[in-house]
Chains A and B, each alone.
Chain A
Amino acid sequence: EPEVTQTPSHQVTQMGQEVILRCVPISNHLYFYWYRQILGQKVEFLVSFYNNEISEKSEIFDDQFSVERPDGSNFTLKIRSTKLEDSAMYFCASSDGQGPALFFGSGTQLSVL
């Protein structure tokens, strides 16, 4: 069964460092998303991406964040200068656009020290 894959599963970084989280969405999907979940809190929308551009972003997705689809398969989230409060589980999701159903990866647990 097709699935969304995310790497790495865990990332530890120092405050102020740049991190890149990687995702391979389901191959025939056209819509891509990043969500995050701080421990014990709800799943929060960060950004949606379609046709090689951002279609919507939340207030969390400030200038420190960027997304890219560098080739036909990968979808990345970059945080330029990490802060302590960026520590969270980051989920990538994709959709075929036929309906709102999202397919999630297993997440990257980001710890900023």
Chain B
Amino acid sequence: TQLLEQSPQFLSIQEGENLTVYCNSSSVFSSLQWYRQEPGEGPVLLVTVVTGGEVKKLKRLTFQFGDARKDSSLHITAAQPGDTGLYLCAGAETSYDKVIFGPGTSLSVIP
């Protein structure tokens, strides 16, 4: 059974600080995705990483896929209150396979 773990579970930081959240698995995935979910809404895709060692940047967000394709990290620089939300990592074995989700990291950025 594929499982994704995320850490930390909760994170509360001051505006302007940097942070990193982690996603780990014992399984190899063909790709990992990061989603952001706000209360009462569906997850919204931020990025997909497919190549081991790949780094992608999306404004102040930097995503990295581990060399072995079992883990990923999300780094946010100079966090803003608008970054508050639940950050979910998700993995798929193939392009057509089901996507499974980790439990999420709940981020709160305090003004």
Contacts and interface: CB of A to CB of B under 8 A. Distances in A.
B99 A42 contact: no
Contacts of A102: 33, 43, 45, 90, 99
Interface of A: 4, 31, 33, 35, 41-45, 48, 50, 55-56, 58, 89, 91, 93, 97-107, 109
Contact of A42 (B30, B40, B41, B103): B103
A93 B42 contact: yes
A43 B98 contact: no
Contacts of B41: 106-107
Contacts, number: 68
Nearest to A104: B42
B45 A101 contact: yes
B95 A97 contact: yes
A100 B95 contact: yes
Given A43-B88, A97-B95, A101-B33, A107 B100 contact: no
